[in-house]
Each structure stands twice: as structure tokens, then as C-alpha cells.
Structure 1
Amino acid sequence: MNEIFQHRIKVLFQHCDPAGIVFYPRYFEMVNQTVEEWHDSGLHHSFSKMHMESGHGVPTVSIGAEFTAPSKMGDVLTWSLSVLRLGRTSAHLSVKARCGDQLRMTATPVLVYVHMGSGRPVPWPEDIRSRMSNYLDAGAKLPD
């Protein structure tokens, strides 16, 4: 099954520069919000419990971005997330923001599951990895 996680974020004054358009670093905050929402709602794996109780985390180790059209205060962006590649300890994601049919921004974060004490990568727990695989993009690959 190839699901796409989606949620919506309204562009607020706090997101904008003096021209009234989203200041590009704020998009990265919205990308992170999308990843957190996906963990909580899509994976049923509390982001806060993972970080605060289980001693694990998912730092972003790499991210690419393309800004295709400006977003303005009051726009409601639909954010979508899919998994491009799922490794033993990492996940390559595609996160897109649209306003209506118009693509506004695409990000490609890479997350790594780590033990917070050592900071070293550890394998995804099998239950989480299994739920993540439901979001694999149709063209995505699992490692050999």
C-alpha cells in the first residue's frame, strides 16, 4: 500500500518577511512540523515520547529544497510526505507544500534513527519500519 501523509498549515504573520511572503527558513520549520505530525498521526509513534522517554531521535542529516512559487500570509498549504528510500537506519523523504494545485516548495530531508546517548545510528524498530514502508513512494526502493 502506498500512502501519502497529508496535513495543512495556514501561513501566519510569524512565517512572513516584510513583503508578506514566507521567509524561506520558515518553510524548514514547516517541513519539520510535517515530519513530527507524520510520526504522531501517520506512524502512531509519538515524536515527543521517542525523544523524551525512549532515548532515541531522528535528526535530519541532509536536506535539499526547491522553492517554486511564493506563499503569502493567509494561504493554506497542504503538506504531503512520502518515503523515497527506507534504509536500515535512515529514511529519505519527499515533503511537498501545495496551495490548491500549485506546488510551492519541495524538500528532501534524510532522517537517521539514533540513540540519543551515543548519537550513533541504530536500526529502526521493526514496527515503526513496517509502518514507514506503507508510505513508500511507488518508485521508491528498499535497500538490497
Structure 2
Amino acid sequence: MFTHQRELRIEWGDCDPADIVFYPRYFAFFDASTGALFEAMGCSLRDVRRQANQVGFPMVDTRSQFYKPSKYGDIVLIESQISEVGHASFGIQHRLFNDGKLAVECSEKRVWAGLNEQGELKAQAIPDSVRKRMLA
């Protein structure tokens, strides 16, 4: 399944008074990493939204485990991988490494979504062109 890596420098605003990353910031890192993963697949959110009535891929579940803190100034590596592909949903696994050691794991489940005729947000089948990229 498709995998992407990106480096990130921990900024002062990411940290709490103990000088470690405030845990909600990790979810922002992983959300941005999902966007970077799709960009690397050649399928940006802008491209998705250009398709008829497509909104994007909202998250319906996320879970994390924290093993090692990261601090201001640390350079971390986030590895993101498509972990499963269903009809209208897919999973992503993120692993954040600090100094070569696993610091945080996160799993996401997202749904391919668009607007129906009534303008309501509904799950839709993942387009075949995107599915092929996810499975590459």
C-alpha cells in the first residue's frame, strides 16, 4: 500500500509548559501528513473537490499511542501509509519517529464523502483511479 514520509521540526507553539508536544498537536501533524500522503499520490484535496459533488475524506475514527515525548527543536520523521481500502472508507497508519525511535503511532479511518442531491454529506465509493493509487 502507498507510503509517504516527511520530516517536521517541533516548534515552540507545539509544546506545553513542560516543553513537550501537547498531545492534540500530534493529531494536527497526522492530519497534515494525510494531506501530504495524498499529494504524493498525485491526488490533492483540491483535485478531489473538483470532482462532481466531492467534499473530501473526513475522519470517522482516530486512535493514538504515545511512547516517547518530543520536545521543542526536535526533528521528527512521520511515516504515513494507507493500511486498508474498502468500498467507501480507508485506513491510514501514521508512525512518528524521534531520534530513530518510535514515539507515537496513530491510526485513522476516513470516509470518501460527497454531497447528495439534497446537499447532505454522504459516503461515496472511492473512485477507481484513487483506489489504484492507494493500493500501489
Q: TM-score scaled to structure 1, two decimals?
A: 0.85
Q: Who is 1:48 aligned against?
A: 46
Please list, as runs of the form range in 1=range in 2, the aligned pairs for 1:64-79 lying within 5 A after superposition. Answer: 64-79=63-78
Q: Identify the residue that residue 9 of structure 1 maps to in structure 2.
A: 8
Counterpart check, 1:119 vs 2:121: yes
Measure the CA separation in 2 of the matches of 1:65 and 1:81.
13
Partner SS state of residue 121, structure 2: coil
SS in 1 for 2:120: coil
Show the 5 A alignment for 1:64-103.
Answer: 64-103=63-102
The Cα of 1:99 is off from its aligned counterpart by: 1.3
Q: What residue in structure 2 maps to residue 133 of structure 1?
A: 135
SS at match of 1:73: coil
Which consecutive unaligned segments of at least 5 residues does structure 2 have? none
CA distance in 2, matches of 1:104, 1:92: 20
The one-letter amino acid paired with 2:73 is G
Question: Post-superposition shift, 1:3?
Answer: 4.5
Name the CA distance, whole Å, in 2 between partners of 1:46 and 1:84: 19
Q: Secondary structure at the match of 1:120?
A: strand
- Kindly indicate whether the alpha-carbon contact (under 8 Å) linking 2:2 and 2:82 is maintained by their aligned counterparts in 1: no
Q: Distance in 2 between matches of 1:40 and 1:4?
A: 12
CA RMSD of aligned residues (A): 1.3
Deviations 1:1-54 (Å, cap 9, x if unpaired)?
x5421111110011100111100000000000100111112x111123424x33
1:123 partner SS:
coil
CA displacement, residues 82-105 of structure 1 (integer Å, 9 cap, x when unaligned): 122110111111101001321110
CA shift at 1:110, angstroms?
0.3
Measure the CA separation in 1 of the matches of 2:46 and 2:28.
Answer: 16
Q: Which runs of 4+ in 1 moved over 3 A?
A: none
Higher strand share: 2
